[in-house]
Amino acid sequence: MLKAILIEKTDSGQSARLAELDEARLPEADVTVRVAYSALNYKDALAITGRAPVIRKFPMVAGIDLAGTVEKSGHAAFKAGDVVVLNGWGIGEGHFGGLAQLARVDGSWLVPLPRAFAPRQAMAIGTAGYTAMLCVLALERHGVTRDQGEILVTGASGGVGSVAVAVLAKLGYKVVASTGRTKEAGYLQALGAASVIDRAELSAPGKALGKERWAGAIDTVGSHTLANACATTRYRGAVAACGNAGGMDLPASVAPFILRGITLYGIDSVRAPMPLRQEAWSRLARDLDPGKLDSMTREIGLGEAIAAAGDLLAGKVRGRLVVDVNR
């Protein structure tokens, strides 16, 4: 038997509970992982609360992340005892996920965990931090350099934003952190932000073109915030968009794209190809300060995940929530 956060269909919608499952209920796949830690991400919170149609089939074990040790393997790349991490690929949505003590998954989804990280640290990073690194890589490949000016990070006190601030600062960029929780200014400055602005500066409807400010931006919010980030990005700059906490819409103009030649990169972490995943994890091992990672992380037990999901959606969670699935 194993403990898991199980989401089930009900007459009124869906419900989530801490359940005990027989291992035989795990889906068919070629690698079984003894999970040490998972994480609670924004998408997990949407799935657990039912606030968005994240779950594609029921019942479903929640959790889009996991880190642990291979227990059984029929995949050539992995053997029992290997320490691995998994982000995305539809776990917690269409395939039983990581908020459980055991997972059975496709071996082609797994990344060997870099030796720089323990499983708990891997989940302190999780999909949020891995996504942040994908955004940083997009800006680098575009050619955004440290001497070109400020980099904007929106939703900066959340999981993606916190890691993005810490990584960009370590790389020497001048980071401007945008947050709706300005009381977290000290926290963001400790992560490396050069300055902190109130999200209200970006969240209201704005002009088609604003004053040029950002050499690049990482946006986790969407909607007017993303539109305004694009409108105020400097000539031939780039914006990496990876979230929709502020809405799925994009009330923007073509002006920044055709008059300033900016580029908007869409960042998908769920189906990113394996070489890109491996590069992101390798770079995180090099460019993320473990001390800063610790400062942005809080640990909870599996039984606390359901209540924490509501807090996360209410904007009450700073940084990252690591879930110890064995307590």
Q: Are 162 and 320 contacting, i.e. CB atoms less than 8 angstroms apart?
A: yes
The H or E element spanning position 13 is strand 13-21
Per-residue pLDDT at 89:
97
Tell the CATH topology of 128-266.
Answer: Rossmann fold (3.40.50)
Q: Tell me, yes or no, if the pTM score tops 0.75.
A: yes
pLDDT tens digits, residue range 39-97? 999 999 999 999 999 999 999 999 999 999 999 999 999 999 999 999 999 999 999 99
pLDDT of residue 222: 97
- Give domain limits for the chain: 2-113+296-324, 128-266
Burial (0-12, 13-18, 19+ Cβ within 10 Å), 30: middle
Tell whether the torsion through CA atoms of 156, 38, 130 and 227 is positive or negative: negative
Return d(Cα 129, Cα 139) in angstroms, integer.
Answer: 15
Query: Which residues of the chain register pLDDT less than 50?
Result: none
Q: Is 14 helix (H, G, I), strand (E, B) or coil?
A: strand
pLDDT at position 287, please? Answer: 97
Task: Please tell me the CATH code under which domain 2-113+296-324 is placed.
Answer: 3.90.180.10
Handedness of CA 44, 45, 47, 53 (dihedral sign): negative
Q: Give the CA distances from residue 313 to residues 42, 49, 50, 227, 254, in Å, rounded to whole numbers and listed in that order.
A: 7, 9, 11, 22, 31
Concatenated DSSP letters of 84-104: EEEE-TTBTTTB--SSBSEEE
pLDDT at residue 118 in the model: 97
- Distance, CA of 38 to CA of 61 (rounded, Å): 12
At 172 the pLDDT is: 98
- Comparing 2-113+296-324 with 128-266, is the CATH topology the same? no
Strand partners, 197: 178
Amino acid at 262: I
CB 188 within 8 A of CB 156: yes
Distance separating alpha carbons of residues 151 and 219, to the nearest angstrom: 11
Phi, psi for 137 (deg, rounded to 5): -60, -40
Q: What is the pLDDT of residue 194?
A: 98
- Reduced to 3 states (helix: H, G, I; strand: E, B; else coil), residue 179 is strand
